[in-house]
Amino acid sequence: MPNTTKMWHVRAALYELLAFSFRYPDTALSQAVVSGEWLDAAKEITEALDLDWECDTYSEKSNDAEAFLHALRAEATYLFIGAPDPAVSPYEGIWRAEDDGVQGLLFVNPHSMDVERFCNACGLGQPEGTNEPLDYVATELELLQYLAMLASGVDVSQTAVSLEDLPGGTPEAAFQQFMDNHVQTWMPRFADKVCEQTRIPFYRNAASLLKCTLS
C-alpha cells in the first residue's frame, strides 16, 4: 500500500472509525449503525485501501436508534466490562500479562506504562473526562488515527511536540513503531475473540474490520 498523503488521510479515517466503534456506545454510534452510515463508511474506506473485508448483512438497520443503543450498550457491557469479568478484555496490558504468565493489573503493568510513555512522547495524555488506562483498545486506535493524520500533512501548529521529536523522528516511524510494539501484539487476537463472543452483527463487523486492517 503506497504511503502517499492521500493514503495516510484514508488510514486516519479508518482508525477514527474503528476507535468510534470500540468506545462505549453512544447515540452517535447507534444512529450511524441503524442508518447504514457506519457500513457505508467502512465499505468506502476498505475499498480505498484495497482491504479484503467480509461483512455481515445488518439486521440492526431500522429507524429505532434508541432501542438499538440499549442493545449496543448491553453487548458492550457483556463483551468489554463484564460482571465480574468481561468476555473480551479491551486492554493491551491484560492480554500481554496473560502472555507473560502473570496477573494483569490495570494501569500498573509494564505494557500499559509503556503505552503511556509513548503517548506522552507524542504529546498526548489522558483524554479529557476519562479515567481509562491508555492501553484501552479505542485509545490505542485514536493514537494511530492521530499519527496517520500527522503523516497526511495536516496542520501541526497546535501539536504539543514537533514532528522530529516523535518516536522514530517522523509520524510514519512513530506509527509503525506503535503498530509493531503494541497493536500487533494483541489486537488481532482481540478481534478474533470479539468475533467469537459477540451476539450481534455490528461488533462482528467492527472486529473483522479491525482484523483485516492488521493482517
- The mean per-residue pLDDT over the stretch 37-44 comes to 94
The residues facing 83 across adjacent strands are: none
pLDDT for the residue numbered 1: 52
Q: Using one digit for the tens of pLDDT, what is the confidence trace for 154-189?
A: 876 667 788 999 999 999 999 999 999 999 999 999
Q: Are 202 and 34 in contact (CB under 8 A)?
A: no
pLDDT for the residue numbered 164: 92
pTM of the model: 0.93
Contacts 24+ apart (CB under 8 A), 14-17: 14/45, 14/49, 14/213, 15/141, 15/142, 15/144, 15/145, 15/148, 16/142, 16/145, 17/41, 17/42, 17/45, 17/209
Can you tell me the distance from the alpha carbon of 127 to that of 6, in angstroms, rounded to the nearest whole number? 27
Q: Using one digit for the tens of pLDDT, what is the confidence trace for 121-159?
A: 999 887 666 678 899 999 999 999 999 999 998 876 667
Lowest mean pLDDT among 58-62, 110-114, 140-144, 145-149: 58-62
Can you tell me the distance from the alpha carbon of 8 to that of 209, in angstroms, rounded to the nearest whole number? 17
Grid cell at residue 11: 488510514
pLDDT for the residue numbered 106: 74
Task: Categorize the per-residue pLDDT at 62 as very low, low, confident or very high, splitting at 50, 70 and 90.
Answer: low
For residue 65, pLDDT over 70 is answered with yes
